[in-house]
Amino acid sequence: MINIKEDKKLMPLNHSCAHLLAEAVKKLYPEAKFWVGPVIEDGFYYDIDLGDKTLTDDDLPVIEKEMKKIAKGNKRIIRHELTREEALEKFKDDPYKIDLINNMPEGEVITCYTQGDFTDLCRGPHVESTKELRHFKLLRVSGAYFKGDSKNKMLQRIYGVCYENEEDLNKHLEFLEEAKKRDHKKLGKELGLFMISEYGPGFPFFLPNGMILRNILENFWYEEHTKEGYEFIKTPIMLNQELWEKSGHWANYRENMYISEIDDRTFAIKPMNCPGGMLVYKNSLHSYKDLPIRCGELGQVHRHEASGALNGLFRVRTFTQDDAHIFMREDQIESEIIRLINFIDRVYSLFNLSYDIELSTRPEDKFIGSIESWDRAETILQNACKQAGHDCKINPGDGAFYGPKLDFHIKDSLGRVWQCGTIQLDNNLPERFDLTYIDKDGSKKRPIMLHRVIFGSIERFIGILIEHFAGLFPLWLAPIQVVVIPVSSEYQGEYAEKVYEELKNNGIRVELDNRNEKLGYRLREAQTRKINYTLILGDKEKTDNTISYRCHGEKDTTTVSTKDFINLLKDEISTKKI
């Protein structure tokens, strides 16, 4: 999938198409006022104030028609530079543009772009003429709070996309249709995995099938980390203000934290697990012989996210990070990072997820520690990445406030990229918490620390897996692995129950569907529910003491003994076959 925001040709094309949209809306709705219309990874959008007029998706063809009419006019798109005074005068009737102008940094060049009699405030860049904007599609309309703040007015956001030719546009639209079928919110509801209640926006509820999937992932996480020499902890979900001040979160992350008062003291629900991990390390004395200490925690955290940003399991207000903190000597840093990269590679390969690695360096502001320590840490991460046999792209200024990091961007079956795993090298928190170990000469030394996650968060990773596998999970992950369907509950029902019990007793997650419904209906439902294997039991299977099974998505059936079928399933589960 192309990232339109980073594509040199498609970025200005989509930026210009956002202006084309704005001009068309202004012609159709003269009272319209415009906030921002940025390019995003999969196209563009524009936030618009239409007063009392509420748009629906049914209005989009009318707007598209007006856009095509304007595009045919072949209007040149001309850039103008304005003084702040000129800009304020030009957009004096649009409070949203006035807000943008007033919030621009002093000395920034203010520019606008004009096509015909329409002018919009914008940094650019743009294409030369509206004639280039022929292959576009408006996708949907939704609500969006002004500046993403629920206290502000709700604006209307129109999404669209533009390509250089019709073939590329159609490919993108086909991709969107496939992505829509895989939407984890839709499949999550249909497959009984999770729900979101109006009583807790951003706080997901996991349903029985979702809990099966979640527990399998968590058990897998514990098993793999045990193999890698990790030990496990659980830290409190709420700790007092002094701790967050000590860690630096209070100064750098306060606006995203949930606060409460207990016994006249201020507490915060943890947005990160790290400070609790520091306290666990500090709880006992450590020798240089003890290091590295690999300490894992599936820790639930809470972060305040704007309501407009919430999105199923992808953006929530509470989630479980698969955190670990590794405490080590300086001579162990490179080998630990290499080992960790190989561990992450093994996990992602199991889910058939390819990935790229990005090195995020020191932010321009809001960072702790010396520049020298940052430079040294960035060099170590880059060298370790090369030693592990991987290239890494530099992402300047996007490190955490306490240290640089390697971010792992996984690619799903549709080619979409998700940032999941991260390795963060931190010299600062051990200093802030005065963490030490006793070296071989009896002196106290400061350990080096790694923060890391692999899934990123359990919730988000489940959302990614739902869409990656389109709801049809590998057998070892599937909440329901097999459904047993007798052709007739009257004649084969008893045999079906026997097969069901045998599968269940062998640890297979199985259901029995002996409802008084037509066979075709029950078979179609098994397909809709994305069940891996469907067993069809008729008179022949009952007489021969066999089963006939059908894999999801296939029409042909295979007849084997129940024992052989169970062995087939166990082999597929134990090898975690995709």
Which residues are designated catalytic? 274, 303, 321, 323, 325, 405, 451
Q: What angle do CA 411, 412, 414 make, to 5 degrees?
A: 115
Q: CA distances (Å), 159 to each of 238, 344, 476, 485, in order?
A: 40, 36, 38, 45
C-alpha to C-alpha distance for 464 and 299, rounded to whole angstroms: 20
**What one-letter code names the amino acid at 471?**
G
Number of CB atoms found within 10 A of residue 247's CB = 24
Residue 90 makes CB contacts below 8 A (sequence gap 6+) with 82, 112, 119
Alpha carbons 112 and 524: distance in angstroms, whole number: 57
Angle at alpha carbon of residue 403, lines to 399 and 406, rounded to 5° = 60
CA-nearest of 313, 394, 390 to 355 is 390
The DSSP string of 271-311 is: S-SHHHHHHHHHTS--BGGGPSEEEEEEEEEE----GGG-B
Taking a C-beta distance cutoff of 8 angstroms, is the pair 170, 148 a contact?
Answer: no
Q: Is 138 exposed, middle or buried (0-12, 13-18, 19+ CB in 10 A)?
A: buried
Non-local (6+) Cβ contacts of 380 within 8 A are 333, 334, 337, 425
Does an H or E element contain 462, and which? helix 458-468
Strand runs labelled E in 341-402 = 354-360, 392-395
